[in-house]
Amino acid sequence: MNRCGFCGRDNDEQSKFCIDCGKPVVKGGARVISVPAMGKQSDRPSSAEPVRASKGMPDTRVSSKLPDASKGGQVKVCPSCGKSADSALPFCPHCGARLDGGAPKRSSTATFTARGTGTGPKLSLLDEAGEVKKSFTLDRGEANFGRSEGDIRFPEDVFLSPVHAQIAMRDGMLLVRDLGSRNGTWVFTDGPYRLQDGDTILIGSQLIRFRRLGYPGPHPPEADQTRRLGSFTPSADIAVLAQLRADGSARDTMHLSPARSVKIGRDQGDWVFPYDQTMSGKHAEVRSEDLEFIVLDDGSRNGIAVAVRGEKPLKAGQRFLIGDQTLRVESV
């Protein structure tokens, strides 16, 4: 007999799996150590005598040997390996599968593999088609980017400052910070973004700044009761979008008022830029919600990015732009 090292069940010498628990049986691998009984030795049966069931209790032990058909025993074909086994057994002694067709119990703990361990956040450099061109791992949990200085350098990128931006893990979050670069650091939105006073957004190749104006005060009544000319709609403008030139000066503007949404695109919308080939036909929408304004993507190809002020968190799958380099966070 070959005893199972997991449950202690005796199995036949040819059994590869325990008939009671389904675990692999290693020949000679289980060793039972007898424990001295308390009291008189004569009160316990000797090891040479078989253990019998108590009077009135049925003997429920199951043998792994095939039953004798002449004595009414039943043979069942294992659904996993196709070999014959006693139908009274819960597990096949040949393959360990359950004889009732169920799958053998498996541990819910995942197998350890070195491929799943990382030493830090991982980034990918993307080409113009959005394909991965190069990968980086932040072994120290942080890195500086620049044209001529830093841990990750792009010496051919004339839009990058010598020291441009920093990315670092802090308190379990991956944060990006602009280091005073000339062209800024940009994070692409992954959903609706609530605009804050002074935010600059990148739509196509257009830099657009959002400014709060506040509410204008009421006009004092005229002394002679003469009414003033002017439009009744839209109502008071409380914010403005300004298109910026390269020197930071404003060119065109689009005023925002409550309950008014503005759509932006190359050839469709309330504010169009037909000369910007990097902008989609329908690119973005600035939507009024109560007294707030939300910018959201309108199915564009290149997305919308927001300039980083202070530190901005990054999530896995999110893209950010430094100079002319677009990078994506693969893992945090």
CATH number for the domain that contains residue 243? 2.60.200
CB 320 within 8 A of CB 176: yes
CB 314 within 8 A of CB 320: yes
Is residue 261 in a domain?
A: yes
Is residue 221 in a domain?
A: no
Is residue 58 in a domain?
A: no
3-state secondary structure of 6: coil
- Position 249 scores a pLDDT of 94
3-state secondary structure of 115: helix
Which residue matches tokens 């935010």?
Answer: 199
Helix, strand, coil shares of the chain as percentages rounded to 5?
5, 35, 65
Answer yes or no: do 296 and 194 share one domain. Answer: yes
- In sequence order, which residues have a C-beta less than 8 Å from that of residue 315 and are 6 or more positions away? 174, 190, 329, 332
Strand partners, 292: 289
Strand partners, 166: 144, 177
Answer yes or no: do 291 and 320 share one domain. Answer: no
Answer yes or no: do 159 and 194 share one domain. Answer: no
In this structure, the chain runs to a length of 332
Per-residue pLDDT band for 80 (boundaries 50, 70, 90) equals confident
Q: Is the pLDDT of residue 216 over 90?
A: no
Nearest by Cα to 327 from 152, 201, 162, 198:
152
Q: Is the pLDDT of residue 23 over 60?
A: yes
d(C-alpha 76, C-alpha 74), whole Å: 7
Which domain does 147 fall in, by range? 122-184+309-331
Per-residue pLDDT band for 41 (boundaries 50, 70, 90) equals very low
CB 311 within 8 A of CB 153: no
Which residue matches tokens 């957004």?
Answer: 201
Answer yes or no: do 160 and 294 share one domain. Answer: no
- In sequence order, which residues have a C-beta less than 8 Å from that of residue 165 and are 6 or more positions away? 144, 145, 146, 176, 177, 178, 179, 181, 185, 308, 322
- Position 68 scores a pLDDT of 55
Please report, for residues 146, 165, 175, 310, 325, the alpha-carbon distance to residue 149 in angstroms, rounded to integers and kept in the order given. Answer: 5, 11, 20, 21, 16
* Full DSSP string of 24-60: B--TT---PPP-PPSS-GGGS--TTSPP-PPTTS---
pLDDT: which is higher, 125 or 33: 125
Is residue 324 in a domain?
A: yes
Looking up residue 167, the CATH number of its domain turns out to be 2.60.200.20
Answer yes or no: do 96 and 179 share one domain. Answer: no
Is residue 48 in a domain?
A: no
Instruction: Provide the number of structural domains found in the chain.
Output: 3
- Position 191 scores a pLDDT of 95
Per-residue pLDDT band for 306 (boundaries 50, 70, 90) equals very high
